[in-house]
Amino acid sequence: MSAGGILKNTAVVGAMTALSRVLGLVREMLQSRFIGAGWEQSAFTLAFAIPNMARKLFGEGALTAAFVPIFKGELATENMESARRLARAVMSMSLLMLGAAVALGVCGITAALGLDAATSPRAILILKLTRILLPYMIFICGAAFGMGVLNAMGRFAAASLMPCLLNVFWIGALASLAFCGEMELSVRVQRVSWAILLAGSAQMAFMFWCMKRRGLTPGFTFRGWGDAKTRLVWKNTAIAAMGAGAVQINQMLDQVLGQLASPWAAGVIGYAERLMDLPLGVIGVAFGTVLLPTFAGHFAKDDVAGARQALVASVDKMLFVMIPAAAGLGVLAPEVTRVIYEGKAFDALATTRVARAVACYAIGLGFFGIQKSLVPWFQAQGDMKTPLAVSVKAVCLNAVLNILAVAFLPVDWKHVGLAASTVVCAGWSCLLLGFAARRRNGSLGFLALIRPVGNTCLASAAMGAALVFARSPLADFTAGRGWGAPLSSIAQLAALIALGGAVYFSAILVLRRALPSRRR
């Protein structure tokens, strides 16, 4: 796939993902107001992390990474019947294993609740929410596998639209809480959990329908389970799952340590991560989604130069957005958090706590995006061991830094330490992956990025400085209009975003004329 094709498909994925992220933003605005940032939200965050972990392991993570290159190879040889058999066999096996795991988990939690093994209200709520959300693993993993199939077939739009369904159901459940008066927060989060479960069934049904339209009708089968290529998929999945599992264990450790740091820390970190999902999901995930099948196609033809060109072009365009986004979010974290979250159950103290984490996470936006571009480089070559080794090293470093943060930082800053640890580990992972890719395939051509990325950094610094100087005068101006606090906050943020965008693009134009870049 050419650089133009990558950008076109990335634009499609980015547009659909942007719609999903906007809906997610609406969802989070409602969640913060109707649920708040207390221990109920933390319990929900921890319970929802379990099916999310399964999704990243067996859905869009390890299984997809192992399956797509082999499936893409079958499509390249125009052996559609073999591709169908491979897809059905892998899907059948994965859904059967997940179904068994969910059944055991639900039975175990039900038994624990019946024996009153959990005595605290928070522990009981975590178990109840986990029992509701466990079956979501089956639905979302089936849907995510369907996304991988469609992406490998070059059909990115439908797969990227699928996450919107979750947000639609979720928003509907939250909107219904406006009519529920004095309903307890613990009951509210259970209602949201049931809506997520229903959304999962809709997501999987939609993906299966899209697959059928493309000539690959889903269905349970025992055929092809012993085929060599099916075994290769599961062998690579096992290796990739160790790496993905290390990352998920890392995230679960963050959640557990967040619970130990303070009752509200896990929920606060969750809100901060949602804000990061907007730029990272639209740009970083879009490029990562397109690059795996793109790299797989190049490496299937032994076209390392084409893969290298695709990687450099993608990182260049991605950083052109991610670096200014990091600068803007880092400076405007309090304003953004206040406008999106603050109100009703989400007070000013919660805003301060979330804004601190957002500012810290913003530093790592570029690292997160580069990491999502480098990991598919190895996966497309069938190399699952290198990302695994890097993930294990990152997990060990993250665990040490997290424990130090929880042990030694003040209570209101422990969650910031957890966020900082994630950023440090992302940067370190990028370095390790970059050096490993160079050893494997030679120079990646990143030297060509020095000038354009340098221009981007300078323009972003100018934008950040302008925002710092303008925020107080704009705050005074909007507060003096008599518009009320919510409208004044929105007006101030809108003006700052407009100013930041104008300064950034003006600086880019000046720098390009003064220092012509190699950007194409």
Residue 456: its H or E element: helix 450-479
Q: Is 231 exposed, middle or buried (0-12, 13-18, 19+ CB in 10 A)?
A: exposed
Two tokens, residue 404: 């130090």
Q: Beta-strand (E) ranges in 245-287?
A: none
Q: What is the DSSP secondary-structure string of 413-443?
A: GHHHHHHHHHHHHHHHHHHHHHHHHHHHHS-
Mean pLDDT by 10 residues, the chain (520 residues): 59 72 83 82 85 69 75 72 84 88 92 73 88 91 83 75 88 89 86 94 91 81 83 79 63 71 79 80 69 81 88 90 92 92 83 93 91 87 85 87 89 89 92 93 90 94 94 84 78 92 94 60
List the one residue out of 421, 405, 271, 426 whose CA is nearest residue 333.
271
Say how far apart CA 482 and CA 19 lie, in whole Å.
33
Give the pLDDT confidence score for residue 249 in this predicted structure.
66
Give the pLDDT confidence score for residue 56 in this predicted structure.
67
Q: 481: number of CA atoms within 13 Å, CB side?
A: 15
Say how far apart CA 153 and CA 210 lie, in whole Å.
12
List the one residue out of 365, 371, 376 whose CA is nearest residue 324.
365
Give the pLDDT confidence score for residue 520 in this predicted structure.
41
Give the pLDDT confidence score for residue 399 in this predicted structure.
87
Say how far apart CA 35 and CA 182 lie, in whole Å.
12
Give the pLDDT confidence score for residue 164 in this predicted structure.
87
Say how far apart CA 10 and CA 317 lie, in whole Å.
11
Two tokens, residue 509: 């134009």
3-state secondary structure of 294: helix
- How many CB atoms are closer than 10 A to CB 218? 21
List the one residue out of 122, 110, 109, 134 whose CA is nearest residue 185.
122
Give the pLDDT confidence score for residue 248 in this predicted structure.
62
Q: Beta-strand (E) ranges in 318-374?
A: none
Look-up: residue for tokens 């307890």?
A: 184
The phi, psi pair for 345, rounded to 5°, reads -75, -10
Q: Is 415 exposed, middle or buried (0-12, 13-18, 19+ CB in 10 A)?
A: buried
Residues in CB range of 215: below 8 A, 6 or more apart = 80, 84
Give the pLDDT confidence score for residue 285 in this predicted structure.
67
